[in-house]
Chain A
Amino acid sequence: MGDDVLEALAKSLEQEVSSGGREILKLLMENARISREENIPMCQDTGFTVVFLELGQDVHLEGGDINEAINEGVRKGYRQGYLRKSIVGHPLKRVNTGDNTPCVIHTRVVPGENLKITVAPKGGGSENMSALKMLKPADGVEGVKKFVIDTVKAAGPNPCPPLVIGVGIGGTMEKAALMAKEALLREVGTKNPQQDLAELELQLLNEINKLGIGPQGLGGRVTALAVHIKTFAAHIASLPVAVNINCHAARHKSIIL
C-alpha cells in the first residue's frame, strides 16, 4: 500500500461515524503495517499486471522484443516475489498460465529520451464492478454524476470499500476506459490541476460517501477515499463515461530509465 492511501485511511477515521467501520479502517492500516514489516502481500489478489510504457521518441531500443522483455519481468517478479498467479490464458477455456503473464501493456510515444515504466497490478474483485456507458450529450454533467454514483451503489460491498475511483469522460469507448484506469495512477490526496474537475471530484466523493455503504460495505460514511477524473475531447454525438473502481490497495510504482 502506498503512503498516499495510508494517509487517506488515517484521515478517513475522523470522518467515519460507524464504530464497526472505524474498526475496519484500523484493521486495514494494521494489515498494511504487517504487510510492510513482514513482506507479505497486503492482498492475496496480486492482480492483473497493467504496465504503462512511456517511450521517449529519442530512445532507440535495440534487438529483442520490448513486450516480451516486460512479460519476462512479470514472470520473474511474480515467481521471486511469491505473488499469486491469477491469469488464465483464454477467457473461456480458463487454464491458468502459471506465471501471471501475459500482462496488459499500454504504450505511448512521448517527446524526450527517457523510458518510463509504470506497473499497476489490478485486482479482479474491484475491476469486475467497473462499468462504461455511452451517454447522450444531453445527459451532461448530471448524467455523468448519476452514472458514477449508480456504478458505486451497484458495486456495494464487492470491490472492498473504501475505494479509489477513476473516471474517464469523453473520447471514444476505449479512450474513456483507458483514461479511467490512468486516473487511478494519480496520488490519492492530490488535487486535480483543472479547477472544474477538482470541484466535480469533490462533489462526487461527497455524494458517494452519502450512500451509506461504508468500509467493507457493512455500513458507514467512508465508501470512497478519492475520485479522480480525466477528460478528453468528444465526438459531437457522444458522451462516453468509464468508471474504473479500485479497492484501497491502489498499487502502482514507476521507474524512469
Chain B
Amino acid sequence: MDKVVITTPLTDDVVQKLRIGQQVLINGRIFTGRDAAHKRLVELLANGKPLPVDFTGQIIYYVGPTPAKPGQVIGAAGPTTAGRMDAYTPQLLEQGLKGMIGKGKRSPEVIEAIKKHKAVYFAAIGGAAALISKKIKSAKVIAYPELGPEAIYELEVEDFPAIVVNDAFGGDLYQEGTKIYAVE
C-alpha cells in the first residue's frame, strides 16, 4: 500500500483524509509525553494554569527513550502502551491535540473523543526502537527534565513510519484486523 506523507501541525482536512490501515510517514515537529508528564499536564488544566506546550494541531508520541550515547540524537525510541494515557487523553484533545502515536488499544471514551475532535491515533511498531530512532533528527527536552525518560521532548522527525489505528470516523484497526484473520 502507498504510504501517505503527512507534516505537522495537522489540519482537520489532513486528518479527515486518513482511514484505518493507512500507512503514513510523519514529518516535522512532534512532542513526547507518557504517564508522568500526562498526569502533570492534566493537573495544570485542573488548576486553570497554562500548559508548557501549545498542542493545537500537534502530535504526542508516547515514548520514554533510552539516553543518547555521545554523538547520538536520541537513544532507542519505540512506542509505549497508549492505554495508560487514556484517562488524560480526552482533556488534551479538548486543547487541540490532533494526533497520538503509541501502541495498543484505546478505551471507548478515547475512541469517541478522537471522533468528536477529528483527531487520529497512530500505532508505531512496538519493539522497533532502534529502527525508529533513525527517523528522529533532533531532540530537546522542553518540559519536566526532572522526569528523566518521562520528560517532554520536542522531536524533529523525518518519514517516521506509523499506521492509522483509530481514525476521525470511529474506526478501529485492532478490531477490524483481528476479525479478518481470526480462525473459528
The residue in B72, B75, B177 that gathers the most chain A C-beta atoms within 10 A of its C-beta is B177
Q: A30: nearest residue on chain B (CB-CB)?
A: B131
Number of residues of chain A lying within 8 A (CB) of chain B: 49
The 10 A-B pairs of least Cβ separation, nearest first, read A219-B177, A212-B182, A160-B126, A158-B104, A212-B181, A210-B183, A41-B76, A35-B130, A40-B130, A31-B128
Q: Can you show 13 pairs from A to B with CB atoms below 8 A apart? A: A20-B177, A31-B125, A41-B129, A42-B130, A44-B75, A82-B66, A82-B75, A83-B67, A156-B104, A157-B104, A158-B104, A212-B180, A218-B123
Is A90 close to B, CB under 8 A? Answer: no
B131 contact from A27, A45, A218, A219, Cβ within 8 A: A27
Contact B64 A86 (CB under 8 A): yes
Which residue of A17, A24, A41, A211 contacts B125 across the interface (Cβ within 8 Å)?
A24
- B128: A residues at CB distance < 8 A: 27-28, 30-31
The interface bits of chain B over 136-171 (1 if a CB of A lies within 8 angstroms of the residue's CB, else 0) are 000000000001111000000000000101000000
- B114 in the interface, Cβ–Cβ < 8 Å? no
Q: Is the CB of A158 within 8 A of B177?
A: no
Return the CB mask of B51-89 against A: 1 if under 8 Å, else 0. Answer: 000000000000111111100100111101101000000
Measured CB to CB, the nearest residue on chain B to A84 is B66
Please pick, from A30, A96, A220, A248, the residue contacting B150 in the complex, using a CB distance under 8 A. Answer: A96
**What secondary structure prevails in chain A residues at the interface with B?**
loop
State the CA gap A40–B135 with chains docked (Å).
14
Residue of chain B at shortest CB distance from A37: B130
Whether B177 pairs with A218 at a CB distance below 8 angstroms is yes
Does A85 touch B at the CB level, under 8 Å? Answer: yes
B133 close to A (CB within 8 Å): yes
Does B81 contact A248, Cβ atoms closer than 8 Å?
no
Q: B126 to chain A: which residues have CB within 8 Å?
A: 43, 125, 157, 160, 216, 247
**CB <8 Å contact, B148 and A85:** yes
- Do B127 and A218 touch across chains, with their CB atoms under 8 A apart? no
Contact-size category for B: 35 or more
Interface residues of A (CB under 8 A from B): 17-18, 20-21, 24, 27-28, 30-32, 34-35, 38, 40-46, 82-86, 94, 96, 98, 124-125, 128, 156-158, 160, 210-214, 216-221, 247-249
Is there an interface contact between A247 and B127, defined as CB atoms closer than 8 Å?
yes
B67 / chain A contacts, CB cutoff of 8 Å: 82-84
For A220, what are the chain B residues with a Cβ–Cβ distance below 8 Å? 177, 181
Q: In the complex, what residue of chain B is closest to A18 when comparing beta carbons? A: B181
- Tell me the complex Cα distance, A40–B21, Å: 29
Chain A residues near B130: list those with CB within 8 A.
31-32, 34-35, 38, 40-42
B178 within 8 Å of A (CB atoms): yes
